[in-house]
């Protein structure tokens, strides 16, 4: 509809009804002015006084506004897809990392670097050997990452509103990541135990069900959570560093927080590398607790290794200080593309799902 009377009773003069303007038009204009809708490209007061421009329905909603409208279901679906893809794509490198963290590897399983390890595994054990245990990992990664991202997004917003209303708080990002890790690891830890036992050299397990049954019968249900406290001890600082670094880099590379794949990939890769390198000693202990590596146990202690303190002592007894950094190369190489994939896929699906939801609401 046309707006008349832009003179004395028009926009510059305020919302009062003027000649040629009905009370309904004046009320509508008053609402525009109060909300500041329809800012022009130049911004400022002049832009704020213009009526809103009709949005082309083909352009879709502005991504900058999407996270606020994204539902918990959206975060869970996007997170589940991101987690499954991340773990599936990077699984061969994860297999190499597990073997390189072995404290006393078999002579046939001593590797100089990641590429040599991957090549030798495929050449001597078969093309699909690095993928053994992928099915249980994908099964655990879906729900674990769904809880992880949904919890993170909810807490990040809630804590940011308390700590830094209207802005981004690094403390809120780190705290939200720590709490989200509690849920993620609770869902993922049993799958990690089975996965790492199947990845080890000369593993007696060829099927997931065989491994689950053997662990349950020989070590009890508690074995699936034996490394949970160590995993939390590792992942809480890992995720705090990870999320704080990611959000910090996003402020520089993507300050408007629009859908920008290159910024998500770069920020995610850098955040993953920094966090992975800093927490490698804890990852080595977690691997020992999960695998209960037989050579290390036979040469130093009897029974099962339980608890982080026992794992730290065993690692030091077997290999000294340098043993805490076994597999650091593979861990960093794994985390750089892993976190890049996770964040880029998550942001893409969050954008895609929310856009479809907005289009569906607009069509009703």
Q: What are phi and psi of 307, to 5 degrees?
A: 90, 155
Residue by residue, DSSP assigns 175-204 as HHHHHHHHHHHHHHHHHHHHHHHHHSTT-S
Distance in angstroms (rounded) separating the CA atoms of residues 66 and 77: 15
For residue range 299-338, list pLDDT tens digits in order: 555 667 777 888 888 888 888 898 898 888 888 988 888 8
Q: How confident is the model at residue 345 (pLDDT cuts 50, 70, 90)?
A: very high
Q: Is 29 within 8 Å of 35 (Cβ atoms)?
A: no
Does residue 37 carry a pLDDT above 50? no
To the question of pTM greater than 0.75 for the whole model, the response is no
Residue range 214-237: mean pLDDT, rounded: 89
Does residue 30 carry a pLDDT above 70? no
**pLDDT value at residue 68:** 53
Does residue 116 carry a pLDDT above 70? yes
Does residue 210 carry a pLDDT above 70? yes
Residue range 250-277: mean pLDDT, rounded: 88
Please report, rounded to a whole number, the percentage of residues in the chain having pLDDT higher than 90. Answer: 35
Look at the alpha carbons of 212, 217, 221, 225 in this order and tell me if their dihedral is positive or negative.
negative
**pLDDT value at residue 239:** 82
Length of the chain: 364
- Which residue has better confidence, 260 or 168? 260
The most confident of 147-156, 292-301, 321-330, by mean pLDDT: 147-156
Residue range 177-191: mean pLDDT, rounded: 92
Residue range 241-253: mean pLDDT, rounded: 88
Q: How confident is the model at residue 78 (pLDDT cuts 50, 70, 90)?
A: very high
Q: Quickly list H helices, the chain.
A: 23-35, 44-48, 66-69, 72-89, 91-100, 114-125, 134-163, 170-199, 208-219, 228-253, 261-278, 280-291, 294-300, 308-319, 328-363
């Amino acid at each position: 509809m046309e707006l008349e009377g832009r003179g004395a009773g028009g926009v510059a003069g305020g919302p009062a009804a003027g000649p040629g303007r009905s009370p309904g038009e004046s009320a509508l204009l008053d609402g525009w002015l109060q909300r500041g809708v329809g800012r022009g490209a130049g911004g400022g007061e002049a832009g704020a006084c213009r009526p809103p421009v009709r949005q082309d329905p083909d352009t879709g909603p502005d991504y900058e506004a999407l996270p606020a409208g994204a539902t918990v279901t959206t975060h869970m679906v996007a997170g589940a897809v991101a987690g499954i893809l991340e773990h599936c794509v990077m699984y061969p490198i994860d297999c190499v990392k597990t073997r390189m963290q072995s404290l006393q590897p078999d002579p046939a399983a001593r590797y100089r670097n990641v590429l040599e390890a991957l090549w030798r595994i495929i050449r001597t054990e078969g093309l699909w050997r690095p993928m053994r245990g992928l099915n249980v990992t994908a099964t655990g990664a879906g729900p674990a990452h769904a809880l992880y991202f949904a919890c993170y997004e909810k807490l990040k917003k809630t804590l940011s509103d308390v700590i830094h209303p209207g802005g981004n708080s690094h403390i809120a990002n780190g705290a939200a990541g720590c709490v989200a890790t509690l849920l993620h690891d609770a869902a993922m830890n049993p799958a990690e135990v089975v996965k790492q036992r199947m990845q080890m050299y000369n593993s007696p397990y060829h099927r997931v069900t065989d491994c689950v049954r053997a662990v349950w019968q020989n070590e009890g249900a508690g074995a699936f959570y034996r490394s949970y406290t160590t995993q939390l001890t590792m992942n809480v600082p890992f995720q705090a560093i990870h999320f704080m670094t990611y959000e910090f880099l996003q402020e520089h590379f993507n300050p408007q927080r629009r859908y920008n794949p290159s910024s998500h990939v770069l920020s995610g890769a850098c955040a993953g590398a920094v966090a992975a390198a800093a927490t490698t000693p804890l990852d080595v202990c977690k691997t020992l607790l999960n695998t209960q590596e037989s050579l290390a146990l036979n040469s130093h202690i009897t029974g099962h290794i339980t608890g982080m303190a026992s794992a730290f002592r065993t690692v030091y007894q077997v290999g000294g200080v340098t043993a805490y950094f076994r597999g650091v190369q593979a861990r960093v190489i794994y985390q750089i593309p892993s976190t890049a994939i996770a964040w880029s896929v998550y942001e893409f699906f969050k954008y895609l799902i929310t856009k479809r939801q907005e289009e569906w609401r607009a069509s009703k």
